[in-house]
Amino acid sequence: MRQRINAVVIGASWGGLDAYSRVLGKLPANLPVPVLVVQHQHPSGGDKLPWILDTRTAMRVVAPMEKEPIEAGSVYVAPPGYHMLVDVDHTVCYSLAAPVNYSRPSIDELFFSAGHVYGPGLLGVILTGANDDGAAGITYIKQRGGITMAQSPVTAEARTMPEAAIATGCIDQIHDLDDIGDVISELVFGLGA
């Protein structure tokens, strides 16, 4: 039986801007699920990422306010300095709780909260990065019955993050960077294996 996907969460760190451009660039404007992304950034670096990503994808890119409803066809980008969570009523929730894995936003925090809300309907993806944020979160997504994916480390600008995710034993699929966007589409539209 094919697994129905209701939301996609993606995490990246070092090399993430290029990776996100290439993954989100393959996603169509009518993707019938929301995509939530965490990219590690310096808190004083400004909040330009949503505007940059908006030029790279057909999807609507949002710099969400807190309590913003999470809707299909949109990409929600975590702002620097805040953890971005999914609340039980499918709205964006922010927290200034301590950095996790030295990061705020933290990939784990997004993945734990989304895993709670979406359960088996969640697809979690770990891209390039030079630390192991997201490994605990991807484990939880797997425990909740969701689908898990990592970028193949050889195609990653920094391989530590996908390697840490794969080392958990909880990754269902490993793909090269340039295939990930299409694979996400196929899974979401119910065409994937």
Partner 1 sequence: MKTPESVTDEQVSIEDIEIRLLLEAIYQLYGYDFRCYSKASLRRRVLHRLGMSGMSSIMAMTDRVLRDQQFFVTLLNDLTVNVTEMFRDPEFYRAFREEVIPVLKTFPFIKIWHAGCATGEEIYSMAIMLEEEGLYDRAMLYATDIDKNVLAAAKKGIYSYAAVKQYSENYRRAGGKTSLADYYTAKYDGVIMDQRLKRNIVFADHDLATDQVFGEMNVIVCRNVLIYFDRDLQQRVFRLFRDSLDMGGYLCLGTKESLRFSACEEHFEPVVADMRIFRKRQLMKRETR
Interacting residue ranges for partner 1, rule: CB under 8 A: 64-69, 79, 82-83, 85-89, 91, 93-98, 109, 112-113, 116-117, 119, 139-140, 142-145, 169-170
- Alpha-carbon distances, residue 93 vs 96, 109, 152, 155, 172 (angstroms): 11, 11, 31, 32, 28
Task: Say whether 133 is catalytic.
Answer: yes
Task: Say whether 40 is catalytic.
Answer: yes
Q: What is the CA radius of gyration of the chain?
A: 15
C-alpha closest to that of 96 among 106, 87, 111, 88:
106
Nearer to partner 1 by Cβ, of 68 and 182: the residue is: 68
Q: CB count, 10 Å around CB of 18? A: 14
Out of 83, 103, 106, 133, which one is annotated catalytic? 133
The minimum distance between CB 122 and partner 1, in angstroms, equals 12
Q: Is 177 exposed, middle or buried (0-12, 13-18, 19+ CB in 10 A)?
A: buried
Nearer to partner 1 by Cβ, of 15 and 137: the residue is: 137
Chain-centre distance of CA 19, in angstroms? Answer: 12
Out of 13, 74, 103, 113, which one is annotated catalytic? 13
φ, ψ of residue 107 in degrees (nearest 5): -65, -45
The minimum distance between CB 6 and partner 1, in angstroms, equals 13
Nearer to partner 1 by Cβ, of 1 and 88: the residue is: 88
3-state SS assignment for residue 161 = helix
Give the C-alpha separation, 81 to 79, whole Å: 6
The minimum distance between CB 22 and partner 1, in angstroms, equals 28
Out of 21, 40, 74, 90, which one is annotated catalytic? 40
Nearer to partner 1 by Cβ, of 109 and 157: the residue is: 109
The minimum distance between CB 4 and partner 1, in angstroms, equals 15
Do 85 and 39 touch, CB atoms closer than 8 A? no
Q: Kindly list the catalytic residues.
A: 13, 40, 133
